[in-house]
A and B are shown apart, each in its own frame.
Chain A
């Protein structure tokens, strides 16, 4: 695949996604499609901050949950008619999630990145417990959204296309960020935060901005999820496995790349949905999932997309040559032939 054809690949990919529910009309598969799209959007958004900056956030379910509760609470209290109007609340879910991200980022981004990981987990549990304990969130019995009465045959399609629009939107944003000055600053933070600071990057402001931006699409995904489910429970929208799943999708596909999170989200989420629907046995699924991750991490630590790119494409060859010429490490940070000094 040459660089010229590359954009063609994107067009084909999104066109295929757009045509999918028209070709496959079985609701079983289109509902798997909806979940996959939501996770593709969340993974791309997560990658836009954590992938570019190297700050692994494991609390993204906070934004997913806030988006879901925003959608549920507003649709109930504003008496939004149970039809397409519900979709207008989705961006609001994203905005509220973004607002929540500002103080969270401010608290958690003042420490080095290893502690940051753990603080994001702690913040996540605060939100989960609050959703269970507060009365306005409906407690552990959750909230029921206005009941949508569409015909059963194409019930999934509006959600599917809302998810697709979200995926395209966040992919474009992520691509734009990657090429922008702001994106370069995030990458500089990942490669060497102190040097970036020394060169005049306002690291704290950049990190908080990136973290906040990544909350929007995850919040929107949560809002769509809430509508699609029709009923939300605190333990399912503030779900610890969501936190790790999103990170794993990105690592599987290729952290810091554009296609990686989309691929990881598509493969993992559809596999997960299919397996849970087919086998009710939870433990079997856990074993399969765990084994798959270990294999990928041990043999393709940089993710599938960079692995394939490095092995089979021209760009990979150029990069290998650059590495051989003792240049700086390649974008994934893991493929470098020269071991980078780890500052303890």
Chain B
């Protein structure tokens, strides 16, 4: 173990963690506003990565330029799924049913992707993907830095929207209490639909970076959703800042353990940290405790 390796792990934690945080933010927004656990978030990421892939292979559109197409596309896909399936769920068991519905959506998307793109691994290409620059003794891959900047910009935009716009006030009000929000005249249904769309839209950038830094196929969604779910549990479900911190923590802990012990144990180490945090704070790092156990 040496200082360079540790610094390098910290760098990975921040650069890659921010991208995971972006994808998890979509998930935690959806949960916070709608009480919906979107199991399809992982497959949204893979779908977005394949959209970037298709644009690149068939029309030779650069990955970053392609985001101008894939982001609205993912938003629309999210809105349609919310309107057609999620909005119909009613009753006290809504959250439980949402798990099943989004899992079914996941299977449909995974099946379609598998059918269209086969199950062979692919990776997104670009002249900048294999390139890196060095500061001190630490290597910075272009794509990782770009991913970090992109994630930071999008998270910034999301925060601006949530905390500085009228729509953001409606979202936060719905997050705090749906019934009260509806009582003061907020169209909670519309807010829910747009929130689901936004949650899906952030996977466009997340999926592109994921696809450029990992080889993936349709079943990569299992790995992704397990990471995203644990990020929002660790951060506190419904907490945006929590998702950011937990995303960085996940990659950071994994890399540190990989350096000082063995890469084999890095994911396990992160899960152990998760369990320890939950023993100390069952509601997660920034989660709020509830007066009523609903």
Instruction: Closest A residue to B232 by CB, please name it.
Output: A118
Contact across chains for A125 and B271 when beta carbons are under 8 A apart: yes
- Measured between alpha carbons, how far is A112 from B96 in the docked complex, in Å? 13
- Measured between alpha carbons, how far is A161 from B44 in the docked complex, in Å? 43
- Measured between alpha carbons, how far is A111 from B237 in the docked complex, in Å? 11
A240 in contact (CB, < 8 A): yes
Contact across chains for A290 and B268 when beta carbons are under 8 A apart: no
Give chain A residues whose Cβ lies under 8 Å from the Cβ of B274: 122
Mark each residue of chain B from 219 to 251: 1 if its CB lies under 8 Å from any CB of chain A, else 0: 000100010011011000100000000000000
Mark each residue of chain B from 105 to 139: 1 if its CB lies under 8 Å from any CB of chain A, else 0: 11110111111000100000000000000000000
Contact across chains for A115 and B226 when beta carbons are under 8 A apart: no
B97 in contact (CB, < 8 A): yes
Contact across chains for A289 and B226 when beta carbons are under 8 A apart: no
Most buried by B among A107, A108, A112, A251: A112
Give chain A residues whose Cβ lies under 8 Å from the Cβ of B218: 283
Mark each residue of chain B from 83 to 106: 1 if its CB lies under 8 Å from any CB of chain A, else 0: 001001111111111011101111
The number of residues on chain B lying at the interface, defined by a beta carbon within 8 Å of a beta carbon of chain A, is: 60
Give chain A residues whose Cβ lies under 8 Å from the Cβ of B89: 301
- With A114-B237, A333-B93 already in contact, the answer to whether A129 and B107 are too (CB < 8 A) is no
Contact across chains for A126 and B105 when beta carbons are under 8 A apart: no
Contact across chains for A294 and B85 when beta carbons are under 8 A apart: yes
- Measured between alpha carbons, how far is A133 from B100 in the docked complex, in Å? 31
- Measured between alpha carbons, how far is A290 from B108 in the docked complex, in Å? 5
Majority-rule SS of A interface residues: helix
Partner of A112, one of B92, B177, B267, B293: B293
- Measured between alpha carbons, how far is A293 from B103 in the docked complex, in Å? 9
- With A115-B283, A117-B99, A122-B271 already in contact, the answer to whether A293 and B104 are too (CB < 8 A) is yes
Among A14-22, A38-46, A335-343, the stretch in contact with B: A335-343
Contact across chains for B99 and A130 when beta carbons are under 8 A apart: no
Mark each residue of chain A from 245 to 269: 1 if its CB lies under 8 Å from any CB of chain B, else 0: 0011001000100000000000000
Among B4-12, B54-62, B64-72, B284-292, the stretch in contact with A: B284-292
Q: Which of A96-132 contact B (CB under 8 A)?
A: 107-108, 110-115, 117-119, 121-123, 125-126, 129-130
A68 in contact (CB, < 8 A): no
A58 in contact (CB, < 8 A): yes
A297 in contact (CB, < 8 A): yes
Give chain A residues whose Cβ lies under 8 Å from the Cβ of B229: 118, 121-122
Most buried by B among A111, A119, A333: A111
Contact across chains for A117 and B271 when beta carbons are under 8 A apart: no
- Measured between alpha carbons, how far is A329 from B113 in the docked complex, in Å? 41
Partner of B93, one of A117, A123, A129, A334: A334
- Measured between alpha carbons, how far is A56 from B39 in the docked complex, in Å? 14
B179 in contact (CB, < 8 A): yes
Contact across chains for A121 and B93 when beta carbons are under 8 A apart: no
- With A58-B99, A247-B100 already in contact, the answer to whether A118 and B230 are too (CB < 8 A) is yes
Contact across chains for B108 and A107 when beta carbons are under 8 A apart: no
A173 in contact (CB, < 8 A): no
A287 in contact (CB, < 8 A): yes
Give chain A residues whose Cβ lies under 8 Å from the Cβ of B111: 282-287, 289-290
- With A123-B275, A342-B294 already in contact, the answer to whether A294 and B105 are too (CB < 8 A) is yes
Give chain B residues whose Cβ lies under 8 Å from the Cβ of A301: 89, 91, 93, 97
B37 in contact (CB, < 8 A): yes
A154 in contact (CB, < 8 A): no
Instruction: Closest B residue to A291 by CB, please name it.
Output: B108
Give chain B residues whose Cβ lies under 8 Å from the Cβ of A247: 99-100
- Measured between alpha carbons, how far is A284 from B107 in the docked complex, in Å? 10
Instruction: Closest B residue to A332 by CB, please name it.
Output: B93
Partner of B271, one of A114, A129, A194, A248: A129
CB distance from B87 to the nearest CB of A (A): 11
Contact across chains for A115 and B119 when beta carbons are under 8 A apart: no
Contact across chains for B179 and A344 when beta carbons are under 8 A apart: yes
Give chain A residues whose Cβ lies under 8 Å from the Cβ of B104: 289-291, 293-294, 297
Supplied contacts A119-B278, A285-B111, A290-B108, 9 more A-B pairs, CB within 8 Å: A114-B31, A115-B233, A115-B282, A115-B287, A121-B230, A133-B264, A283-B111, A286-B110, A342-B92
In the complex, 8 of the A-B residue pairs with CB atoms within 8 angstroms, ordered by the A residue number, are A56-B99, A118-B232, A122-B271, A125-B226, A283-B218, A286-B111, A294-B108, A344-B35
